[in-house]
Structure 1
Amino acid sequence: MTAPSAPAKAFLKTEQGDRIDCLFNPSELTISKSNTWNASEKKGGNAPELRFQGGQSGTLTLTLTLDTTDTGTDVTEHTNKLLDLLKVDPALAGSDRQRNKARPPWVEFHWGKLHSFKAIVERLQLKFTYFASDGMPLRAKADLSLKQWKDEAERPLQNPTSHTPTLHTVHRLAHGETLDRVAAKHYADSTRWRLIAEANRVVDPLTLEPGMLLVIPELPVRRRA
């Protein structure tokens, strides 16, 4: 009789490739998405015809319980990691120190086969609910709101000369599969794994989870001189 597998642990993955593990998996998640429609004026009718204007950023809200009573350590070691996600990082792509231009990092929420869109931390509320006799916080409740950073269709899968999307397929990562094996399967060349990594913005290939969907871009066409 085989032992049951351990439940998957939820975690946040940052733009820098850091991983913030959730001490306890959330009990529920809320995902919301809305579109903007405008009504054109229509005289003599019961209702105007709506015209689509555009989509709004999706949001993902969840509540995390952070508890270190079993170890007796300060829970702020974990809450500070969440607070850091709201801090501006001048080392990120697109930053310009001379123009005083910078931004906080985007993050992704992962839980087993569930993977969120790239998102920024729009709101974080921490409530400390239990303390040691010396006042050290041991338990906290974190209400987290993530807002979609940009349209996932804007991934860098474009021909730089024509700015038209390249053809691509999607591959679901199986247990034990690595990027070089995926490259060998689709390109018959395992050394092409970096092309897949760049297309999917993979920072650390060793952190890929089974079930993740990977975009497989078309190989660039070689033109004769």
Structure 2
Amino acid sequence: MERVAFLEDSSGLRVDCLLNPETVQVTRLAGVRPRGVADARLTGAGLADDPLVFTGGGRTELVLDLLFDTDLVEGPTRPQDVRALTRPLWMLAENSATEHGWLRPPLVRLVWGKTWNVPGVIVAIAERFDAFGLTGSPRRSWLRLKLVRVAEAADEAREGFADELAAASTPTAAPGSAVVATGDGSATPGHSGVRFDLLAHDALGSPLRWRLLAEHNRITDPLAVPAGTTLAVPPLAAPPTADATPGGGQP
């Protein structure tokens, strides 16, 4: 089962997230700015809007909300402080690479399942802690980071987006067949380790259709589906809408 991960291009370092994002916000800023001179904008009394300069290019930003919790870590090496899990992401926002003699954050690639593969740099990161222990160490973290896509040709961006949509809308199971729930080894009390959103991707072509899969199989708690459960694949209904991951909540 594929979790969202960040791959550092130069070293091959992989930073896995404990859970997939609660939300992803994508913003596109076109290469447009007001026309002006050195110290002022140009405008006119008869104009409804300021004149614009079309500079080309632009900026694509992705904001991800991530949850980390030491209680969800399996094995004897469970950290006592959640910052041990989130520190690698903070380091990806440091100026640890060099380009043309200038320091810069390393180039990373956001990879999530079959439909997200975005090259960029992490330009901002913020973290809110809770569930503090007696020593003051936080065990849970709500982390938000902003990734800015690196420059690429417009044709490449368009083709890449078309490939992502094709992968997201192509189920691997036919309606009327079945998929088997497989655990990812992260079973905890109240969570079986089955990634229901990825089951929905395999059965219905998109992780956003997890509610449809759950309702068709009369499942009230997708987080508690035991590994090995066989689920019937329903016929596709309306296209999926942006929704939270099963069991997810806003930080």
Deviations 1:44-96 (A, max 9, x none): 56667755322321100011101112445232121110111122225x5x364
Q: Which runs of 4+ in 1 moved over 6 A?
A: none
User: Which deviates further from its counterpart, 59-68 or 32-41?
Assistant: 32-41
Aligned pair in 2 of structure 1 residues 137, 44: CA closer, same or farther (>3 Å)?
A: closer
SS of equivalent to 2:20? coil
Aligned pair in 2 of structure 1 residues 133, 43: CA closer, same or farther (>3 Å)?
A: closer
Give the match for residue 143 of structure 2.
142
Deviation at 1:143, TM superposition (A): 0.7
Between the two proteins, the alignment pairs up a number of residues equal to 152
Deviation at 1:26, TM superposition (A): 0.8
Structure 2, unpaired ranges of 5+? 36-41, 164-251
SS of equivalent to 1:142? strand
Which residue, out of 10, 17, 22, partners 1:27? 22
Aligned pair in 2 of structure 1 residues 95, 17: CA closer, same or farther (>3 Å)?
A: farther
Deviation at 1:38, TM superposition (A): 4.3
Deviations 1:155-214 (A, max 9, x none): xxxxxxxxxxxxxx99x7xxxxxxxxxxxxxxxxxxxxxxxxxxxxxxxxxxxxxxxxxx
Deviation at 1:137, TM superposition (A): 2.1
Q: Determine if contact 1:37/1:54 at 8 Å carries over to the other structure.
A: no
Structure 1, unpaired ranges of 5+? 1-5, 155-168, 173-225
**Identity percentage over the alignment?**
26
Structure with a larger share of its residues in helix: 2
CA distance in 2, matches of 1:43, 1:31: 36
Give the match for residue 69 of structure 1.
71
SS of equivalent to 1:105? coil
Q: Determine if contact 1:26/1:62 at 8 Å carries over to the other structure.
A: yes
Q: Structure 2 length normalisation: TM-score?
A: 0.50
CA distance in 1, matches of 2:133, 2:45: 68
CA distance in 2, matches of 1:114, 1:53: 30
1:88 aligns with 2:82: no
CA distance in 2, matches of 1:33, 1:47: 21
Q: Structure 1 length normalisation: TM-score?
A: 0.55
Deviation at 1:42, TM superposition (A): 6.8
Give the match for residue 5 of structure 2.
11
1:152 aligns with 2:155: no
Amino acid aligned to 1:111: W
CA distance in 1, matches of 2:3, 2:64: 15
1:44-193 paired onto structure 2 within 5 Å: 52-71=54-73, 72-74=78-80, 75-90=82-97, 92=98, 94=99, 96=101, 101-149=102-150, 151-153=151-153
CA distance in 1, matches of 2:46, 2:144: 48
SS of equivalent to 1:33? strand
Aligned pair in 2 of structure 1 residues 11, 45: CA closer, same or farther (>3 Å)?
A: closer
CA distance in 2, matches of 1:43, 1:136: 60
Deviation at 1:102, TM superposition (A): 2.0
SS of equivalent to 1:31? strand
